[in-house]
């Protein structure tokens, strides 16, 4: 199971930090969610985040997410959770969903849409959502999830710039975070292969294997744009890549 990428945003004025996460659920089905040890792991991971973007949700009925939400609300009594799901996405009989799970007492969905992938560049086109944000400086934030297919990582990551432009034009904002699983490790991408809109290659790291060992793997990643950008100069497209964070337990 992949560890989640966590982006910790520190809000001005002494406000509580806000955690945005991305997590590859590795083919989440109802039967998988019904396993007690799996559910316990999912719930403990989700409870660390204010907004979580789940990827590889393959349960078409929605029952797995309903079960997950019920157990999450039972586990964490600090406030209720809600979810927002994309339709099933894919080019074959294998389909996935993007699912946002969020603390509804801390944030709400302002709007959402499926990116129109006219040239079929994405195996699973981004499901874009705009959330309220507890900050006067940054009252709203757009999240753009993308689970790339390993054989077309370069093409899909370069096409993300078009998504960035589309969101910017549609909602008149550049305050957004692009979230993976980008399937982008050191072996799959180099700075030379990426388009000019990327400042540097996406980071590589390690993940926790079931046996407790560590090994190189592709991690979920994040790119930040606009007012949410960390204190670093932006690239030509206004995109930065602070990297994927794998929290230790």
Cα distances from 211 to residues 26, 189, 208, 215, 246, in angstroms, run 17, 28, 8, 11, 17
The DSSP element (H or E) to which 205 belongs, if any, is strand 205-208
Catalytic residue among 56, 96, 125, 156: 96
Instruction: Name the DSSP letter for residue 215.
Output: E
Q: Please report the domains of the chain, with CATH numbers, ordered by start residue.
A: 5-240 (3.60.10.10)
Mean pLDDT of the chain: 78
Catalytic residue among 56, 125, 147, 198: 147
* 163 burial type by CB count under 10 A (0-12 exposed, 13-18 middle, 19+ buried): buried
The DSSP element (H or E) to which 33 belongs, if any, is helix 30-33
pTM beyond 0.85: no
- Told to judge if 105 belongs to the known catalytic residues of this protein, a careful annotator would answer no
Q: Which residues pair with 24 in a beta bridge?
A: 55
What is residue 223's three-state secondary structure?
A: strand
**Residues sharing a CB contact under 8 Å with residue 23, sequence separation 6 or more, in sequence order:** 2, 4, 5, 45, 46, 52, 53, 54, 55, 220
> Could you write out the three-class secondary structure of 65-111?
HHHHHHHHHHHCCCCCEEEEECCCECCCCCCEEEEEEEECCCCCEEE
- Told to judge if 96 belongs to the known catalytic residues of this protein, a careful annotator would answer yes
- Tens digits of pLDDT across the chain (249 residues): 455 666 666 665 556 788 999 999 999 999 999 999 999 999 999 999 999 999 999 999 999 999 999 999 999 887 799 999 999 999 999 999 999 999 999 999 999 999 999 999 999 999 999 999 888 888 999 999 999 998 999 999 999 999 999 999 999 999 999 998 888 765 555 544 555 555 433 333 323 333 333 333 333 456 666 655 443 333 323 333 333 333 333
């Amino acid at each position: 199971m992949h560890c989640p990428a966590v982006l910790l945003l520190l809000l001005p004025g002494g406000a509580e930090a806000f955690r945005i996460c991305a997590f590859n659920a590795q083919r989440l089905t109802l039967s998988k969610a019904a396993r007690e040890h799996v559910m316990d792991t999912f719930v403990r991971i989700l409870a660390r985040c204010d907004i979580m973007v789940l990827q590889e949700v393959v349960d078409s009925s929605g029952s797995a997410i309903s079960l997950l939400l019920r157990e999450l609300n039972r586990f964490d009594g600090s406030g209720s959770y809600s979810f927002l799901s994309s339709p099933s996405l894919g080019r074959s009989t294998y389909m996935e969903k993007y699912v946002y799970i969020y603390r509804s007492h801390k944030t709400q969905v302002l709007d959402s849409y499926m990116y129109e992938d006219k040239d079929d560049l994405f195996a699973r086109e981004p499901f874009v959502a705009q959330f309220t944000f507890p900050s006067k400086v940054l009252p709203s934030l757009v999240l753009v999830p993308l689970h790339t297919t390993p054989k077309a990582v370069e093409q899909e990551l370069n096409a993300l710039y078009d998504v960035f432009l589309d969101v910017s034009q549609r909602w008149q904002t550049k305050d957004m975070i692009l979230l993976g699983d980008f399937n982008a490790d050191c072996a799959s991408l180099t700075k030379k292969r990426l388009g000019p809109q990327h400042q540097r290659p996406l980071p590589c790291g390690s993940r926790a294997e079931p046996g407790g060992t560590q090994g190189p793997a592709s991690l979920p990643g994040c790119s930040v744009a606009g007012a949410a950008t960390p204190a670093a100069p932006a690239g030509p497209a206004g995109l930065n890549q602070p990297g994927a964070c794998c929290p230790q337990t």
